[in-house]
Structure 1
Amino acid sequence: MRYLPISLLFLIWACASYPERNNFQSMETSGGSITNPYFSNPKKDYVYKADINLYKKNFSGILILKKLGVQHHRVVFTTELGNTIFDFSFRDGDFRVNHILSEMNKKMVINLLKKDFRTLVTENPSVLNRFASEDRFIFETEMAKWKNYYYTIDRKLEKIVQTKNGKKKVSFIFSSVDAEVAKNIQILHHNIKLSIRLKAI
């Protein structure tokens, strides 16, 4: 019987939402949107030195993200010699693989990359709830049944945490922000061996 309270506490913790696990304070407001400005300028080519580590394989090269229209982005990853590793299009909620290297041409890998880059280029997701934590405001959104939490500090987007069943699955970390360009971006998966590191050129 003495183990029952511990078991109940563990069960409650296991069922807790991400805000509950992190002691967020609800702001009791909802609606509106949060802005991710980092790939929103159609006049700019966003060019990064990129390293993608997928399990035991490493892919290095140049990543170019381009906004072509409203809800329309192109994401191209090439070697430094110009050979295409992958080329994706996101348009009006649709996703298209224009080209992908045979080593990456697996459904699971494509779905992971699709989810990661869709999160990066989504500019104005609808807000479900708002929270505060220390000096940060956090906005809860939802994309394809995954909850995303947008952390802002001084009105700048600092981080996106993607969760499922209340648990952190992926972190998108933006740093060295200058004129609405994040010069350093990290995408870190916490349950599989996948990481993406981008450094602006």
Structure 2
Amino acid sequence: MIRLLAISFFSIFIFSSCALKTTEGLRQVHFNEITVENPYFSNAKIDYVYKAKIEVYRKNFGGILIIKKIAADNHRIVFTTEFGSKLFDFQFEGDTFTKHFVVEDMDKKFIVNILKEDFKILVNESAKVLAVYESKNQRIYKTESGDRFNFYFLDETSEQLEKIVNTSKTKEKVTIDYNSADGKIADTISIKHNNIKLKIDLEKFKKQ
């Protein structure tokens, strides 16, 4: 009897420790949606310009980040200092990633790979829905991202995208928070990693 109770307790502990916090307290619902959309960098007529701060381990980089949609599934992302010196220049074309340039201080394989994955999530306009959850005021769409998952949090009333959480099967890896006045262009974006020292803050550039 004691052995049975011990096994039961161990099983409960294992399953509870593997539970994904992102979906705690949410109810899974039936859905008809095939895809979920991210509208924030989808207009090819707009140059999306942001003041940017990137903290990676003990290094801090500040400047201007420009995201430009060139064509369908094709985005160019350029990060420069405020004086115009290029820090990195990336391009996403479908599943193809091109590193046009990276300044020496950032040109480390693991840093480039992390930035690649972060910005891939940021500019991806559409993702296939695997499951849908609801909370009191949000609707959450689960999508697949390689060997991970992305959870899109949309306001229940306005249907604006407020957050994306990138996870493994058991842990939250990256959180992207959006603040937008119109639901079309993000005024601020915050990208935080849970397991490494990397943070990106973007604020929409306001013309004087």
Do both share a fold (TM > 0.5)? yes
Q: Deviations over 1:100-140 (max 9, x none)?
A: 01111111111100000000000011111111111110000
Say if 2:14 is the partner of 1:32. Answer: no
Q: Please list, as runs of the form range in 1=range in 2, the aligned pairs for 1:50-65 lying within 5 A after superposition.
A: 50-65=52-67
Q: Distance in 2 between matches of 1:178 and 1:76?
A: 24
TM-score (ref. length: structure 2) = 0.91
Aligned residue-pair number: 200
Say if 2:136 is the partner of 1:142. Answer: no
Query: Which residue in 1 is equivalent to 2:106?
Result: 104
Give how far 1:18 is off.
Answer: 4.9
Q: 1:152 is matched with which residue: 141, 154, 164?
A: 154
Q: Deviations over 1:89-110 (max 9, x none)?
A: 0002100000001111111111
Q: Please list, as runs of the form range in 1=range in 2, the aligned pairs for 1:44-193 lying within 5 A after superposition.
A: 44-153=46-155, 154-178=158-182, 180-193=184-197
Secondary structure of the structure 2 residue equivalent to 1:118: helix
Q: Distance in 2 between matches of 1:129 and 1:18?
A: 16
Q: 2:11 is matched with which residue: 8, 11, 14?
A: 8
Q: Distance in 2 between matches of 1:158 and 1:99?
A: 31
Give how far 1:165 is off.
Answer: 2.3
Give how far 1:179 is off.
Answer: 5.3
Q: Distance in 2 between matches of 1:168 and 1:183?
A: 24
Contact 1:51 1:196 (8 Å CA) reproduced: yes
Letter in 1 for 2:191: I
Moved over 6 A (4+): none
Letter in 1 for 2:121: T
Residues 96 and 66 (structure 1), Cα distance of their counterparts in 2 relative to 1, 3 Å cut: same
TM-score (ref. length: structure 1) = 0.94
Contact 1:18 1:163 (8 Å CA) reproduced: no
Question: Pairwise CA RMSD of aligned residues?
Answer: 1.7
Say if 2:180 is the partner of 1:200. Answer: no
Letter in 1 for 2:47: D
Give how far 1:161 is off.
Answer: 0.4
Larger CA Rg, structure 1 vs 2: 2
The gaps in structure 2 that reach 5 residues or longer are none
Contact 1:49 1:61 (8 Å CA) reproduced: yes
